[in-house]
Structure 1
Amino acid sequence: METNITWQQLIDEYFFAKPLRSASEWSYTKVFKSFVHYMGPLSCPNDVTYHKVLAWRRFLLKEKKLSGRTWNNKVAHMRAIFNYGIQRGLLHYDENPFNNSVVKPDKKRKKTLTQAQIEYAYQIMEQYENQENTGLGLKYSRCALFPAWFWLTILDTLYYTGIRQNQLLHIRLNDVDLREGQIRLITEGCKNHKEHYVPVISFLRPRLTCLMEKAQSEGLKGNDRLFNIALFTGKDPAIGDDMDSPQVRAFFRRLSKECQFAISPHRFRHTLATEMMKMPEQNLHMAQSVLGHSNMKSTLEYVENDIAVMGRALEAQFMQIKAAHARSIYSGLTKNR
C-alpha cells in the first residue's frame, strides 16, 4: 500500500485510469488544486480527515460565501478522486473523508435575461458592427467586441438555439446543415454524452450562413471548428484542447461591462427554457428535446414560474370561488322566501 503518495501522483493516477474529456479534467484539476491550496504545501492526500473536509466546507460557505450547489460540486469531484485512491490502495482510509459532507442547496431562481436586456445587448453590438463596416473599427481592433460580425453570430446561435458554450465551441463546419435546417451537437460537446440536433430557425440563418461562407473562404475544412475567432484574426488558436476559450470569456466580460448587467452564454439558455414554458402550445417534452436533457428533472430546474401567469391563474381561481359562494348565498335566500 502506498502511504506517502503525493497530491500530483494521486491526480495523475486518477486521470490515467479514467477516460475523461479534456474539459472534465480541467474541472477536476481546478477543484483539486483549490483543496490542495487549502490543505497547505506540506500536506499529502493521506492527511485528510473528515474534520478537515468540514473545516474546508465552513471556510468556503461562511468566509468565501460560495453557494451550497458550488460546494456540492466540489465534494463530488473530490469524493470521486478519493474513492479511486481508496479502491486502488493508494490511500489508507476505511471510509472516504468526503462522504456525508454535502449540504442542501438553496433553491435560487435561474439567471435569465429580459427581452429588453437582450435587445440592448444587440444594439450595442450592432453599433460596433457599424463602426466595423465603415472602417472605424480598425482603431479598436484590440477591443474584445471585435470582429463584431463574428460575435453577433455567436449571440444569435446561443439566443436562438439555447445550446451551451461547450457545445457551441465543438461545432464543426460539417455539423451545420443549412439545407436540412439543423445543427448537429456531437457527443464530445454534450454534457450527457448524447448527440442531438437543434434546428436552424429563420432568425439564425442569415448570420450563420455568412459565417460559414467566410470560414470556407479562409480555408476551413469540414472537421474544423466553426466558431474559432482565430480564423478571422490571424492570431493564435482561440480554442484550446480543453475547449476553453479566453476570447469568449473576454467578449462576455466586456459586453457585460458595456451593458451594465451580467450577460453570459448560459443566461441565454435559461432564458430560452423559461420563455418556451410561458407559451401554452409548448410543453415540457418539447423544452427537454430542445435543451437536450436526459431527464425531465433537469428541464424543470431551468423553468421559472411566471408571476404574471401565476397571477392570472389565482385571479381566475378566486373568481370561481367567489362566484360559487355568491350563488350559494343567492340560493339560500331564495329558499327562505
Structure 2
Amino acid sequence: MNILEITNSYIRERALSDAAAIHYGYVAELFVRDAGVQDVREITREALLNWREETLSRDVSSSTWNNYFRHLRVLLRFAADHEPVPALSGNLSALLLREHVERPKTISRSDLKKAMSYISSRRSAIRPRWFWAILLRTLYYTGMRRRQLIDLMWSDIDLKKAKIQLRATSSKNRHGWEIPIVALLLPSLFQLRERTLKELGEDADIGSLYVFDISLFTEQYRSCRNGKMNARSISNFFSRLRFATGVSISAHRLRHTMATELAQLGLYKELQSLLGHTDMKMTMRYVHPELENLRLMAEHLESIDD
C-alpha cells in the first residue's frame, strides 16, 4: 500500500476536519515528491533523512519540518496496523529538530487603527466596507481562528447574554468552548444581524445560517457554497488591505496580538480558557514582560560592594 492510499484511509477513518485532511494530504504529497518513495514498505529511516535534507534545503524552518514530520509519523503508525513499516523500527523522535522560540508576530496599535481607518474611509476599495470592518473586529476582540469564524453560525451567538459558542468541529484541538462578546464588539454583531435580516426578511430563521455570509451583501461572492465564506476570501481581503496600507494583518496575527495584550494582565488561566488552549505552555508563549517591569524587579537586588 502506498502512502497516499494510507493517507486517504486515515482521513476517512478518523473523520478529520477539512483543514486537517488537506494538511495531511499535502504532507504526504510532499514526502512522495521529495523522498521519491510511495510504498510504505520502502519507507526507511534513510528515506526520512533524505526527506529532511531536501526539505531543509528550501530554507524551511525547524518548526515547519517538525510539523511535517509529526504528521507523516502519524500516517506511518496508522499504516503499521496493516503492514510492516521499516522506518518505525528506530527512535523517530531523534529526527525532530530543536525549534527556535520566537515571539508571536503581532500588530501595533497604530497599525491596527490605520487599517481600520482605511477600511471605513470612502477612499477604500474594499467593499462592503462595513462588513469587512466587522469581520476584523470580530477576529481581534474574540481571538478566534479564521476557520472558527468561517464556521460560525447565528445559533452559536447569544447577543442577549453576550457570548459565543465555538464549535468543536472547527476547533484546532477538537473541543468547543464559550467566549464572551466584549462591549466594543457587541454593536457590530447587532448591526450584522440587522443587515442579514434586511436581506432575508425580518421573520427569517437565520439560526442555521453562517454569520459571515458575504454573498448576501455583494454580487462578487454570490457563488459562495451554501453561504459559507472560504478561507481564500479572507486572505484576499488582508492582501488588499496590506497593499493599500502597508500593514501586514492576518487572522493569526490578530489572535497573537489580542493574546499578547491580554497576557500583560497576568490572568494566565483565564487567557488559556479564552484561547481554548489545552496546554498552558501554549498560552505562556504570549507572556512577554515589559523591559521596565524587569528593570524595576532587578532594582530590588542589594549591592554586593562595600
Q: Deviations over 1:177-222 (max 9, x none)?
A: 1110111111112222222111111211122111111122333721
Alignment-derived partner of residue 317 in structure 1:
300
TM-score when normalising by structure 2 = 0.88
1:232 aligns with one of 210, 217, 240: 217
Q: Equivalent residue of 2:217, what SS?
A: helix
Letter in 2 for 1:124: Y
* C-alpha separation in 2, matches of 1:35 and 1:115: 41
Unaligned residue ranges in structure 2 (runs of 5+): none
Aligned to 1:38: 34
Corresponding residue of 1:305: 289
What do residues 232-255 of structure 1 show as CA deviations (whole Å, max 9, x unaligned)?
2242116898x8421011111222
C-alpha contact (below 8 Å) 2:264/2:288 kept by paired residues: no
The Cα RMSD (Å) is 2.4
**CA separation in 2, counterparts of 1:27 and 1:240?**
24
Unaligned 5+ segments in structure 1 are 132-136, 330-337
The separation in 2 between residues aligned to 1:162 and 1:47, in whole angstroms, is 44
Query: 68, 77, 82: which is aligned to 2:76?
Result: 82
- Give 1:231's aligned amino acid: L
* Paired residues of 1:125 and 1:148 also in contact (CA < 8 A): yes
1:169-180 correspondence runs (5 A): 169-180=150-161
2:139 counterpart of 1:158: yes
Distance in 2 between the 1:147 and 1:110 partners?
30
**1:23 alignment partner AA:** A
The percent identity for this pair of structures is: 28
TM-score when scaled to structure 1? 0.81
Structure 1 residue aligned with 2:5: 9
CA distance in 2, matches of 1:31, 1:208: 38
From the superposition, tell whether residues 185 and 73 of structure 1 become closer, same or farther in structure 2 (CA, over 3 Å): same
Q: For the structure 1 residues 92 and 269, does the alpha-carbon distance in structure 2 shift closer, same or farther, using more than 3 Å as the test?
A: closer
Deviation sequence 1:243-299 (CA, Å, 0-9, x none) = 8421011111222222324211111111112111223xx411121122121221111
Q: Is the 8 A contact 1:270 1:303 kept in 2?
A: no
Out of 271, 289, 296, the position equivalent to 2:280 is 296
From 44, 48, 54, the counterpart of 1:53: 48
In structure 2, C-alpha distance between the alignment counterparts of 1:239 and 1:170, rounded to whole Å: 12
- 1:268 and 1:224 map into 2 onto residues whose CA distance is 25
Q: Which residue of 2 aligns with 1:247?
A: 233
Alpha-carbon separation, structure 2, partners of 1:112 and 1:204: 20
1:287 lines up with 2:243 in the alignment? no
Contact 2:272 2:280 in 1 (8 A): yes
CA deviations on 1:139-160 (whole Å, 9 max, x unpaired) are x5xxxx3222111111110111
State the match for 1:333 in structure 2.
none
Match of 2:256 in 1: 270
Cα deviation, residue 97, structure 1: 7.5
Structure 2 residue matching 1:183: 3-state secondary structure: strand
Choose from 80, 92, 95 the match for 2:88. Answer: 95
**Equivalent residue runs for 1:187-226 within 5 Å:** 187-219=168-200, 221-226=206-211
Decide which structure has the larger Cα Rg and report it.
1
Q: For residues 9 and 37 of structure 1, what CA distance do their matches in structure 2 show?
A: 15
* Count of aligned pairs between the two proteins: 299
Q: AA paired with 1:229?
A: I
Residue 259 of structure 1 pairs with residue 281 of structure 2 = no
